[in-house]
Structure 1
Amino acid sequence: MRTLILIYCLFLVTSVAFSQNCSKYYPMEEGTSFQYTMTNKKGKTEGVTDYSITNVENTGGVTTATMNMKFTDEKGKEILVSDYKISCTGDVVKIDYNSLVPAQMMKQYTDMGMEMEISGTDIELPNNLSVGQGLEDANVAIAIKMTGMNMNIKVDQLNRVVEKKESVTTPAGNFECYVITQDNISEIMGVKQTMPSKLWLAEGVGMVKQETYNKKGDLTNQMLLTKLNN
């Protein structure tokens, strides 16, 4: 379950773009950093995720940024450190689905004698967002092979729609955001779970807030931008 939660959190947070030159959303400069605090439905802190841009390269009209992520639990224990890449071409930013599975996690499984196969569809976000606009679906699937047993994990982002514009205030400031709704469907060993979510996205900043709900529409957790240094 910890594996699914970490992949799921990565999938949500990286559902947004990271470029000043070829996207309106998120700065793409080395040294830029930001922090999100995750809370449960009662407002209790469950963990903190710190991001920093460690490298930016421009080759053949494609801009690629390397993002470092560190997840710390509610007790201050470092749970995961990972790097992933985001590429930007023209007016669309793509997040490679392979990058959504942390190398540290893959190494742990490999050291245990397991094999992992990853497939999926890159996450895309265009510059020209507008209320009512539909966005492309995305997914990542992981097949874990071990002696005498195989385990399949899949996370889909479906029905992605720009719902409205809204002002949001967080400890990091006040932001004018587009609100993107989507259905997140996870599947482990044939057992499916649907988790609708909303994503608040601000120009030049990126994700400001994200809320996840159960199938009844009740809030289950929230991620909020609490620090920004750009």
Structure 2
Amino acid sequence: MKRYFLLLVMAIFALQASTAQTSCSTYYPLTDDVSFQYTNYDKKGKEEGKINYKVTDVQNSGSTTTATMVMEMIDKKGKTYTSDYDITCDGNVVTIDFESLMNEQMLSQMGDMEMDISGTDVELPNNLSVGQTLPDANLSIKMKMGGGINMNTNIETINRKVEKQESITTPAGTFDCYVIYSETRTKMMMTNQTFPSRMWLAEGVGMVKQESYNKSGKLMASSLLTQLNK
């Protein structure tokens, strides 16, 4: 369960790149009952599972929009893990309430383990352009696992750059995208790894595709938008 919790957190952190600015820009439809599904694949293109998202409880007050993102993660064996978290769009910046991830359901799944989550948001400007450099971001997870054992995980997204524009087709449709390159640096216990990735981002949709690579640039895993209901 601890491993799947980390996968859920990393899924939120990845999606944050597509929810950044939400209704404050044209990159994501922050509207009640909008839902979308991503299918995850391994390096050989074999399906590894799915992640479903649904936008609920959208509220507007002046220039601020708040909503709840409901997330369901289904592994290749059909086992399901769910969570939800709050997001706020204020002007040109979206923030995610990481504390809201510690909802009653998630806490019951984690047992007696205590944890603290903090970080800085992934940001996207309203107007992307090829060659543009984007701000870094990070996520820190501190876990108290009992017996005096603590596990700290730090996930950084660095070297973000808009590489090109490209049209791609998925089961959800055909989308004109900006391709954003970044590197994810993960520090956990004695492990320190950095992996490159690319994200295809479409206006009015968010993330359409994502690929992760090893240090040699070979594909390790990918995610694809396979359903979209607006």
**TM-score of the pair, normalised by structure 2:** 0.90
Q: Which amino acid counterpart does residue 66 of structure 1 have in structure 2?
A: T
Q: Which amino acid counterpart does residue 212 of structure 1 have in structure 2?
A: S
Q: Secondary structure of 1:31's partner? A: coil
Q: CA deviation at 1:89?
A: 2.1
Q: Which amino acid counterpart does residue 219 of structure 1 have in structure 2?
A: L
State the Cα deviation string for residues 11-64 of structure 1 (Å, max 9, x = none). 112221266641111111101111110000111100011111111111242111
Question: Is contact 1:15–1:124 with CA below 8 Å preserved after alignment?
Answer: yes
Alignment partners' CA distance in 2, 1:225 and 1:71:
14
State the Cα deviation string for residues 66-95 of structure 1 (Å, max 9, x = none). 1111011112221x1111222222233333
1:13 counterpart residue number: 15
State the Cα deviation string for residues 85-125 of structure 1 (Å, max 9, x = none). 222222333334545x553444444x32x321222112222
Matched positions, count: 226
1:63 counterpart residue number: 65
Q: Secondary structure of 1:12's partner? A: helix
Q: Secondary structure of 1:124's partner? A: coil
1:205 counterpart residue number: 205
Question: Is contact 1:37–1:49 with CA below 8 Å preserved after alignment?
Answer: yes
User: Which segment drifts farther, 118-127 or 35-44?
Assistant: 118-127
Q: Which amino acid counterpart does residue 35 of structure 2 have in structure 1?
A: S
Question: Is contact 1:117–1:143 with CA below 8 Å preserved after alignment?
Answer: yes
Matched, 1:46 2:45: no
Q: CA deviation at 1:132?
A: 1.2
Alignment partners' CA distance in 2, 1:124 and 1:96:
15
Q: CA deviation at 1:128?
A: 1.5
Question: Is contact 2:21–2:123 with CA below 8 Å preserved after alignment?
Answer: no
Alignment partners' CA distance in 2, 1:10 and 1:95:
9
User: Where does the alignment leave 5 or more consecutive residues of structure 2 unmatched?
Assistant: none
State the Cα deviation string for residues 155-181 of structure 1 (Å, max 9, x = none). 111111111110010011100000111
1:184 counterpart residue number: 184
Question: Is contact 2:116–2:143 with CA below 8 Å preserved after alignment?
Answer: yes
2:123 counterpart residue number: 124
Pairing of 1:68-217 with structure 2 (within 5 A)? 68-78=70-80, 80-98=81-99, 101=101, 103=103, 104-109=105-110, 111-112=111-112, 114-145=113-144, 146-217=146-217
Alignment partners' CA distance in 1, 2:158 and 2:152:
19
Alignment partners' CA distance in 1, 2:85 and 2:61:
18
Question: Is contact 2:136–2:160 with CA below 8 Å preserved after alignment?
Answer: yes
Alignment partners' CA distance in 2, 1:126 and 1:87:
16
Alignment partners' CA distance in 1, 2:22 and 2:9:
26
- Cα RMSD after superposing both structures: 1.9
User: Where does the alignment leave 5 or more consecutive residues of structure 1 unmatched?
Assistant: none
Alignment partners' CA distance in 1, 2:133 and 2:154:
22
